[in-house]
Amino acid sequence: MKTMEMQKLAWDRLEKLRAPQSLSSALNHLGIKNIKLIRKELREDGTLPWINIPLWLKGEDLFIQRMHKNEIGAELLRVLSQEVQDEAYRLQETVYKISQLGVSEVAVPLVLRGERIGFLNVGGFILEDLRPGDVGLEEKFKVLMLPDSEISQAIIEWRQLPQFNSDKRAIVIQMIELLAREVISFFEETLSAQEREEAVTKHTFSQMVTAHPPLKNILKKLPSLAVSDASILIYGEPGTGRELFAKLLHDESPRAKKAFKTLHCSSISENLIEAELLGYEKGAFAGAYHTKVGLFETCAGGSLYLEEIGDLSISMQHKILRFIQDKSFSRLGSPELMKSDVRLIASTQRNLKKLVQVGAFREELLIRLNSQEIELPPLRQRKEDIPLLAEHFLKLFMKSMNKEGIQWTDEALGKLSAHSFPGNARELRNEIERLAAIKRSHELIQATDLSPKITEMRSPVEEIEKGMTLKNIVDDYEKQIISDALQKYHWNKSKVAELFQITRQGLLKKIGKYKLDKRKAIR
């Protein structure tokens, strides 16, 4: 692990973590009063000395306090700590030693990504089967050169130290090792979170987070698409970021200072859609108690986003076509012809070409809208984006909820990445908002915290019931099989075609269809 990576470790957050707090509390009940963390610290001169930091338990028994005040005793404790640390560093395993005064110390090495970053030291206890009588203790304590008046009190303090038999000592050591694993696990999650956060920054294009090559290519075209006044049609499933993409087009365009409005065509009736778009005069129909300005006027000089335009009626499609052709419209209840310069951006999850064939969508309108066509891929085809988006959304919700330090465990993130997300990024966002709400600051998100729909594997039939289509499932499965075979046979297309008993040309068509890239393994 690089030195700079080590400096990113959130040492100051360790005391706030629940699992270490619980373990240290249990050790305290057994009589342990002090836990020391020994770690490297980068100084201004570039050196990395070891520093000693009491954590979780910061008390001391009277005898240990006496030892620290005694010059010889302090040196004996220092030598004992140094010996267990040196041996633990060399062996990369737990080391237990007893000093000549019968005081024990345990050192557990902290090893992160192959580098020794520190130790957990626990000491200040004695073994029940090694308790000498007072005469034996007086003989041992001669090394401290204590005045006769202090010997008796020192013996009393020594006998007040925690006393463990071999079985209890083994339990204490296991608990310290478990505490060390919790520390390392936290640091591993911290580094992973930082790496994901850096990846989010690296893969954020015009506010959209993606490492998916096809979507990145689309986003690279966004500036050139934005400067045009041509209508744009966005294909994609709900939750894939269609409205965000439309807003980005507006924000990057010369129209950015003017209004951007959204109309969800599938959520309201045709009459209301007409009134929303065109506006109406007072008295135009029952309930029109005042004049209302429509979106065509409100968005003058700006952009209007029509979501699910494929759900509009033929008559409403005609009014929109007329507006696109000459930028003219009339308010309901008014004979006056009005003009407005509005850029239309539309989206749909339906196949408009098929709707044209059956007479459910006007071909002229499709031609007008289709001057620029964008297709946003669903999240199940962007598996590499799930961890990035999870980190991105978690940071947003921690900020809005005034929380900090919530992190993912690898298991939770793995379960999340394995989910098909029929609701796409919107479903992922909702899940993470729920997780951020139920977790407290500095907690880890465990796999058990995830919704049952994510943790419970579903059959293909259940996936279809939840919104997937049979074609999606078959295509995803075929894409994965072809990708795995290409990787195994090092992109020898002839061998893969032979394996699948198809022609090489047929394989090339499938590679093109699924946009498989030799330079990037599909996971």
Grade residue 362 by pLDDT with cuts at 50, 70 and 90: very high
The pLDDT score that the predictor gives to residue 518 is: 63
Q: Which residues contact 67 (CB under 8 A, 6 or more apart)?
A: 73, 74, 76, 77, 101, 103, 144
First-to-final CA distance of the chain: 26
Over residues 75-86, mean pLDDT: 90
Asked whether the beta carbons of 416 and 386 are under 8 A apart, the reply is yes
Amino acid at 492: N
pLDDT of 138 over the 60 cut: yes
The pLDDT score that the predictor gives to residue 390 is: 93
pLDDT of 47 over the 70 cut: no
The pLDDT score that the predictor gives to residue 174 is: 93
When the pLDDT of each residue in the chain is averaged and rounded to a whole number, the result is 85
pLDDT, tens only, 294-342: 999 999 999 999 999 998 889 899 989 999 998 988 889 888 899 999 9
More confidently predicted of 214 and 132: 214
pLDDT, tens only, 249-293: 999 999 999 999 999 988 778 788 888 999 898 888 887 889 999
- Taking the CB of residue 285, how many other CB atoms lie within 10 A of it? 11
Over residues 493-517, mean pLDDT: 83
Over residues 3-14, mean pLDDT: 64
Which domains occur in the chain, in start order?
3-187 (3.30.450), 213-375 (3.40.50.300), 379-465 (1.10.8.60), 470-513 (1.10.10)
What is the SS3 string spanning 348-404? ECCCHHHHHHCCCCCHHHHHHHCCEEEECCCHHHCHHHHHHHHHHHHHHHHHHCCCC
Distances from the Cα of 12 to the Cα of 15, 16, 144, 213, 315, angstroms:
7, 8, 36, 38, 65
Give backbone dihedrals phi and psi of 165, rounded to 5 degrees, phi first: -80, 180
Grade residue 505 by pLDDT with cuts at 50, 70 and 90: confident
Grade residue 7 by pLDDT with cuts at 50, 70 and 90: low
pLDDT of 402 over the 90 cut: yes
More confidently predicted of 130 and 284: 284
pLDDT of 2 over the 60 cut: no
What is the distance between the alpha carbons of residues 509 and 487, in angstroms, rounded to a whole number?
Answer: 17
Over residues 413-436, mean pLDDT: 90
Pairing of strands 115-127, 163-164: parallel
| DSSP string for 304-343 | EEEETGGGS-HHHHHHHHHHHHHSEE--BT----EE---E
Grade residue 522 by pLDDT with cuts at 50, 70 and 90: very low
The pLDDT score that the predictor gives to residue 521 is: 44
Over residues 417-432, mean pLDDT: 90
The pLDDT score that the predictor gives to residue 117 is: 85
Q: Pseudo-torsion of CA 262, 268, 269, 272, nearest 10°?
A: -50
pLDDT of 517 over the 80 cut: no
Over residues 229-253, mean pLDDT: 91
pLDDT of 63 over the 60 cut: yes
**At 110, is the secondary structure helix, strand, or coil?**
strand
Grade residue 361 by pLDDT with cuts at 50, 70 and 90: very high
The pLDDT score that the predictor gives to residue 307 is: 92
The pLDDT score that the predictor gives to residue 489 is: 73
- Taking the CB of residue 63, how many other CB atoms lie within 10 A of it? 22
pLDDT, tens only, 14-46: 888 888 888 989 999 989 999 988 887 655 555
In angstroms, what is the C-alpha Rg of the chain?
A: 34
Instruction: Return the beta strands (E) in 67-113 as ranges.
Output: 95-98, 104-112
Over residues 356-372, mean pLDDT: 89
Grade residue 436 by pLDDT with cuts at 50, 70 and 90: very high
Q: Which residues contact 130 (CB under 8 A, 6 or more apart)?
A: 98, 102
pLDDT of 4 over the 50 cut: no
Over residues 124-153, mean pLDDT: 82
DSSP, res 27: H
Grade residue 97 by pLDDT with cuts at 50, 70 and 90: very high
Half-sphere exposure of 516 (CA within 13 A, CB side): 26
Q: Tokens 């087009």 sit at which residue?
A: 249
The pLDDT score that the predictor gives to residue 462 is: 62
The pLDDT score that the predictor gives to residue 523 is: 35
Work out the percent of the chain whose per-residue pLDDT is above 90: 30
**At 124, is the secondary structure helix, strand, or coil?**
strand
